[in-house]
Amino acid sequence: MIQVDYSRSGKSVASFAPALAQAHTWLQEATGRGNDFVGWVNLPRDYDKEEYARIQAAAKKIQSDSKALVVIGIGGSYLGARGVIEFLRSPNYNLKKKDTPNIYFAGNGLSADYLQEIMDLIGDDDFSVNVISKSGTTTEPAVAFRFFRAALEKKYGKAGAAKRIYATTDKARGALKALSTAEGYETFVVPDNVGGRYSVLTAVGLLPIAVSGIDLDQLMAGAASMMETCRRADLDVNPAWQYAAARNTLYRDGLKIEILGAYEPAFRFMTEWWKQLYGESEGKEHKGIFPASVEFTADLHSMGQYIQDGERQMFETIVRFGPSAADLRVPLDESDGDGLNFLAGKDMDYIATQAMDGTLLAHVEGGVPNLVVRAGEKNAYTLGEIIYFFEYSCGLSGYLLGVNPFDQPGVEAYKKNMFALLGKPGYEEMGAALRAKLEK
């Protein structure tokens, strides 16, 4: 169950009900802007069951024949999987003793050092590759795939490598699909009607997540339950309606930055996923809340000063989880040299809750309205709920803002310039013009 507490935002959201009802209809009936890309709305119920079984079978094979899996993808083709694995299995997953493969994320940048390090870390270990690209043409993952495909072919031969390459891409279009068909790679589909940043619950996220040993059924069950909650056209009971309305009313008041945070370091990559989801969905037509993130309490000692006292242009959304399974109590120290015995016997959850409450009051008093998203215990079911809640809220929120939440025209600008400067066929003239500009 997810509850949104917007009582510390200082705002009423009731006036948004009619606009929310309209946005809700656009999502439910696929009749709004970008309606070709709302396949994620019913996905937790209508997902392809045959493919889901193939994902689990492929995950078992990878677990049995590989010590490492390289997940190659960028943006919506990797952030969700990484967020889920780090939250549920730990940011230190690769360092843990476990009977599942190490997982390395590649193709999400162009750093030679980063790529080399992954190759060195894999060393002589048996490994497999899951290359993920909806378009099948994105440069960063395509370049990384060349390196890992070459390494696989050198180690296992062409036929052996083909059995260790899993491609997640469009069902028919793109260079990756064509290559996969030619080479005989097992393929999984990014549905036509699901954009990259809404694709974590498709094969895009599910294959790497399953390889890490996470219970996919629980993740999907949580998402399905939140889908039912979000279908209710009622501001009093629909947390996505409440969150979308609260953030839009704050934006209209001039607060242009939203900081998402949690008191769980393992949630950090989920905030990266959230930033892409909201930034790419809303930041267009010179509008949109800028999504930023913090990790508390660590960032209270770095960003805390600015949040408390800097320019008043932001609000905070804090995700709070149920109690931890770890029962850690502060030990008693007879000498009390550090003066901490007033905490002796108190559990860490209790201490963290006081920090959360104290910080909330301080920030609100400092002029930073707070929204609190209350979630359940830290498990796959809860995370499925959180994923669907943020996706549905994002669709609503983009419509409230008056943009198409499902396109990303701005992402193309840098790509075109990069292709031109790299001399991609067809971009020669543009390349010369850009080089002249750089030389000025």
Tell me the CA end-to-end span of the chain in Å, nearest whole number: 57
Residue 76 interacts with ligand PA5 (CB under 6 A): yes or no? yes
| Least distance in angstroms from the C-beta of 177 to ligand PA5 | 11
User: What is the side-by-side strand order in the sheet with 290-295?
Assistant: 3-5, 370-374, 314-320, 257-262, 290-295
Report the distance separating Cα 78 and Cα 68, nearest Å. 16
Asked if residue 39 binds ligand PA5 (CB under 6 A), the reply is: no
**Measured from the CB atom, is 138 or 187 closer to ligand PA5?**
138
- The beta-strand segments (E) located in 45-193 are 68-72, 102-106, 127-133, 165-169, 186-189
> Does the footprint of ligand PA5 cover residue 398 (CB under 6 A)?
no
Stretch that binds ligand PA5, among 4-12, 121-129, 134-142, 329-337 (CB under 6 A): 134-142
Residue of 127, 137, 136, 13 lying closest to 63 (CA atoms): 127
Q: Which of 100, 102, 130, 133 lies at the binding interface for ligand PA5 (CB under 6 A)?
A: 133
| DSSP track, 281-340 | HH-BTTB-PEEEEEETTGGGGTTHHHHHHS-S-EEEEEEE----S---BPPP-TT-TTS-
How many residues form the binding site for ligand PA5 (CB under 6 A)?
A: 15
108 near ligand PA5 (CB under 6 A): no
Q: Which of 248, 303, 249, 241 is nearest to 271 (CA)?
A: 303
Catalytic residue, chosen from 96, 98, 287, 415, is: 415
Catalytically annotated residue among 301, 311, 412, 440: 301
Decide: is 196 part of the binding site for ligand PA5 (CB under 6 A). Answer: yes
Q: Which region among 132-140, 227-235, 333-341, 354-362 touches ligand PA5 (by CB under 6 A)?
A: 132-140
Contact flag: residue 141 with ligand PA5 (CB under 6 A): yes
The CA R_g of the chain, rounded to the nearest whole Å, is 23
Residue 195 lies near ligand PA5 (rule: CB under 6 A): yes
Q: Is 135 in the site for ligand PA5 (CB under 6 A)?
A: yes
Site map 274..313 versus ligand PA5, x via CB under 6 A = ------x---------------------------------
Nearest to 274 by CA among 399, 395, 390: 390
Residue appearing with tokens 């001039």: 254
271: contact with ligand PA5 by CB under 6 A: no
Q: Which of 279, 254, 214 is nearest to 76 (CA)?
A: 279
State yes or no: residue 197 binds ligand PA5 (CB under 6 A).
yes
Which burial class, exposed, middle or buried, applies to 35 when counting CB atoms under 10 A from its CB (0-12, 13-18, 19+)? middle
Among 63, 77, 238, 404, binds ligand PA5 (CB under 6 A): 77
Q: Find, among 221, 270, 198, the residue nearest to 40 by Cα.
A: 198
Find the shortest distance in angstroms from Cβ 77 to ligand PA5. 4
Please tell me what DSSP assigns to residue 267: G
Strand pairing class (127-133; 68-72): parallel
Cβ burial, residue 31 (10 Å; 0-12/13-18/19+): exposed
280 included as an active-site residue: yes
Active site annotation includes 301: yes
Q: 3-state DSSP call for residue 197?
A: helix
Which part of the chain contacts ligand PA5 (CB under 6 A), choosing from 68-76, 82-90, 122-130, 299-307?
Answer: 68-76
Q: Cβ 277 to ligand PA5, closest distance in Å?
A: 8
**Contact range with ligand PA5 by CB under 6 A, out of 135-143, 224-232, 362-370, 398-406:** 135-143
For residue 314, list its beta bridge partners. 257
Options 86, 186, 272, 280, the catalytic residue: 280
Tokens 């790679």 — which residue? 185
**177 forms part of the interface with ligand PA5 (CB under 6 A):** no
Contact 109, 72 (CB under 8 A): no
Q: Does 138 bind ligand PA5 (CB under 6 A)?
A: yes
Q: Is 208 in the site for ligand PA5 (CB under 6 A)?
A: no
Residue 191 lies near ligand PA5 (rule: CB under 6 A): no
Choices 189-197, 208-216, 334-342, 344-352 (CB under 6 A): range interacting with ligand PA5: 189-197
Q: Which is nearer to ligand PA5, 168 or 359 (CB)?
A: 168
Residue 407 CB, shortest distance to ligand PA5, in Å, is: 9
Q: Which residues are catalytic?
A: 280, 301, 415
Q: Which residues bind ligand PA5 (CB under 6 A)?
A: 74-77, 133-135, 138, 141, 195-197, 280, 408, 411
